[in-house]
Amino acid sequence: MELDLLLFASLRDIAGAQTLKVDLPEGATVSELLEMIAQNHPEFAPKLPHVRVAIGDEFAQPGDTIPADQEIALIPPVSGG
Amino acid sequence: MELDLLLFASLRDIAGAQTLKVDLPEGATVSELLEMIAQNHPEFAPKLPHVRVAIGDEFAQPGDTIPADQEIALIPPVSGG
Amino acid sequence: MMEPNYEAQLTREAIDTEKARSWLDDPGCGAIHIFCGVVRDLNRSKTVTAIEYHAHEPLALRSLEKVVAGLVDDGATKALAIHRLGMLKVGETSILLGVSLPHRKEGFGLLERGMIEIKSEVAVWKHEHYRDDAPEWIEGS
Amino acid sequence: MMEPNYEAQLTREAIDTEKARSWLDDPGCGAIHIFCGVVRDLNRSKTVTAIEYHAHEPLALRSLEKVVAGLVDDGATKALAIHRLGMLKVGETSILLGVSLPHRKEGFGLLERGMIEIKSEVAVWKHEHYRDDAPEWIEGS
């Protein structure tokens, strides 16, 4: 399945865009998604150890399955407040 | 010397007035003032162990001399805030 | 001339939290902490309808100034205390204590300490009015 | 119908401290605590001219709601968090966190904890603008 991952903060600067298109097998998990990005988009690799994945409006766990019908976002360490 | 002591809170209710007139020898200290009140105005006696004396805009110490030219006040435990 | 970095006030007007925040504002500060003490409808199991705050004004103002000066000595960039006097309804602010500082961490403790000092040292008394009983002076907090 | 006792907002308007205080007001509360995080003019030795706050809005709002709901679970009568987004000048409030409760004692700790949670969990990022350097994304706090 094809997904447009939402990017934030420095990830946008690295991509030069607000989203990153990825192609994932059905049933892939959050950790499989991150491994795939590290392999296919090595420019993100140094950031990924500190990136969390959000599915819709919730943070996801590494074993969660990536759904096809919700917004998936890469969340670098936050700095609000 | 004659003084009008300023009274606050329950001390006003006890006195039925906002001040208490006292006659003190020149050079009397804060603790002598309190002893004199306990003797001459026994209705205040139960309150006095918790009363502080203020001279002008400062709390006084027991050994301080009562001046003739500043406002002297009896300060029961405060409850502001 | 330098602006003073602490301020104590006694007032008979309603206390405006936004105005207090503006006073505390400082370009070097990332944190503004404000505490409001408010008249509530219950005290010692009695229904409170209003509280009249009464002060020895010169003494209270002097003590309030010492509290905010102490907060600045101990790290606040600015400190502000405003105590309201007169008759207050339930929900109105009786005391506002605020500090600003570069980082938030120390602010919580400064405000807590300032309130303890205000409660023990500032010559203000509550005359509480109740729904079902005669008004009473509160002494000690 | 019961009024909700917590509220989280993301806004592009200036945050009004007095309005927040009114929202927090409750007849049973004697204490209202408000913390404002403010844009300051210096960070990591650079002169800051403005900060743009950027969010994953649904995720940030959900996390902010969890923080204030948690403060109510742990004793706040009401809890309110408002995070500002967009471009802010030095001195403007970026985050307001407030709680009301019957007595003040627990409020200091609740606000402190709430701010730690907001700083670690809410999907908002600062894009800092400097007088002498190119803007930078801040990650981690």
A27: CATH: 3.10.20.30
- Which chain B positions have a beta carbon within 8 Å of C86's beta carbon? none
Q: In this structure, is residue B68 part of a structural domain?
A: yes
Q: What is the pLDDT of residues C60-91, one digit of tens each?
A: 999 999 999 999 999 999 999 999 999 999 99
- pTM of the entire structure? 0.95
Given an 8 Å threshold on Cβ–Cβ distance, is B9 in contact with C94? Answer: no
Q: What is the pLDDT of residues C7-49, one digit of tens each?
A: 999 999 999 999 999 999 999 999 999 999 999 999 989 999 9
- On whether any CB of chain D is under 8 Å from the CB of A81, the answer is yes
Given an 8 Å threshold on Cβ–Cβ distance, is D59 in contact with A57? Answer: yes
Given an 8 Å threshold on Cβ–Cβ distance, is C54 in contact with B6? Answer: no
For residues B11 and B1, give the distance between their C-alpha atoms in angstroms, rounded to a whole number.
22
- Stretch B14-36: mean pLDDT: 97
Instruction: Compute how many other C-beta atoms are within 10 angstroms of the C-beta atom of residue C115.
Output: 22
Which candidate from D25, D40, D111 shows the least CB-CB separation from C30?
D40
Q: In this structure, is residue A80 part of a structural domain?
A: no
- On whether any CB of chain D is under 8 Å from the CB of C126, the answer is no
Q: In this structure, is residue C1 part of a structural domain?
A: no
- Provide the domain limits for residue D70: 6-138
C141 pLDDT tier (thresholds 50, 70, 90): confident
The CATH number given to whatever domain includes residue D67 is 3.90.1170.40
Q: What is the domain count for chain D?
A: 1
Q: CA angle, C128 as apex, C127 and C131 as ends, to 5°?
A: 145
If you ran DSSP here, which 8-state letter would residue B76 be given? Answer: P
Q: Is B59's pLDDT higher than 80?
A: yes
Q: In this structure, is residue C47 part of a structural domain?
A: yes
Q: In this structure, is residue B80 part of a structural domain?
A: no
Task: Take residue C25 and report the two structure tokens written for it.
Answer: 């504002």
Which residue numbers of C have CB closer than 8 Å to B's CBs? 37, 53-56, 58-62, 83, 94-95, 115, 118-127, 137-141
Instruction: Give me the residue label for tokens 């009004």.
Output: D16
Residues of chain D with pLDDT under 50: none
**Strands C78-84 and C6-11, sheet pairing:** parallel
8 A C-beta contact, residue A6 and residue A19:
yes
Alpha-carbon torsion (C112, C118, C120, C125), positive or negative? negative
Taking CA atoms, B1 is separated from B20, B26, D3, in Å, by 14, 6, 63
Q: In this structure, is residue B61 part of a structural domain?
A: yes
Q: In this structure, is residue D104 part of a structural domain?
A: yes
Given an 8 Å threshold on Cβ–Cβ distance, is A9 in contact with D58? Answer: no
Radius of gyration of the CA atoms of chain C, in A: 16
For residues C63 and C69, give the distance between their C-alpha atoms in angstroms, rounded to a whole number.
10
The residues with which B67 forms a beta bridge, in sequence order, are none
**Strands D6-11 and D78-84, sheet pairing:** parallel
Helices (H), D57-127: 57-73, 105-121
Query: How confident is the model at residue B20, as a pLDDT?
Result: 98
Q: Is B17's pLDDT higher than 80?
A: yes
Taking CA atoms, D65 is separated from C20, D17, D70, D130, in Å, by 27, 19, 8, 32
Minimal C-alpha gap between C51 and chain B (Å): 11
Q: Is A31's pLDDT higher than 80?
A: yes
Query: How confident is the model at residue D141, as a pLDDT?
Result: 78
For residues A36 and A74, give the distance between their C-alpha atoms in angstroms, rounded to a whole number.
13
Taking alpha carbons only, the member of D58, D74, D73 closest to residue D10 is: D58
Q: In this structure, is residue C117 part of a structural domain?
A: yes
* SS3 state of residue A49: helix
Q: Is B18's pLDDT higher than 80?
A: yes
What are the strands, taking DSSP E only, across chain A? 2-6, 19-23, 52-55, 58-59, 72-75
Q: What is the domain count for chain B?
A: 1
Which candidate from B9, B10, B81 shows the least CB-CB separation from C118?
B81
Q: What is the pLDDT of residues C112-134, one digit of tens each?
A: 999 999 999 999 999 999 999 99
For residues D84 and D140, give the distance between their C-alpha atoms in angstroms, rounded to a whole number.
18
- Which chain C positions have a beta carbon within 8 Å of B7's beta carbon? none
Output the CA torsion A17→A22→A28→A34 (10° steps).
-50
Q: In this structure, is residue D1 part of a structural domain?
A: no
Q: Quote the ipTM score.
A: 0.95
- On whether any CB of chain C is under 8 Å from the CB of B80, the answer is yes
Instruction: Give me the residue label for tokens 């010397």.
Output: B1
**Residue type, position B21, single letter:** K
Which helix (H) or strand (E) segment is D20 a member of? Answer: helix D17-24
Q: In this structure, is residue D22 part of a structural domain?
A: yes
- Provide the domain limits for residue A62: 2-75
8 A C-beta contact, residue D123 and residue D61:
no
Taking alpha carbons only, the member of D134, D45, D122, D50 closest to residue A77 is: D122
Helices (H), B1-81: 10-15, 30-40
Minimal C-alpha gap between B59 and chain C (Å): 8
Minimal C-alpha gap between A77 and chain D (Å): 5
Query: How confident is the model at residue C2, as a pLDDT?
Result: 64
Q: In this structure, is residue A40 part of a structural domain?
A: yes
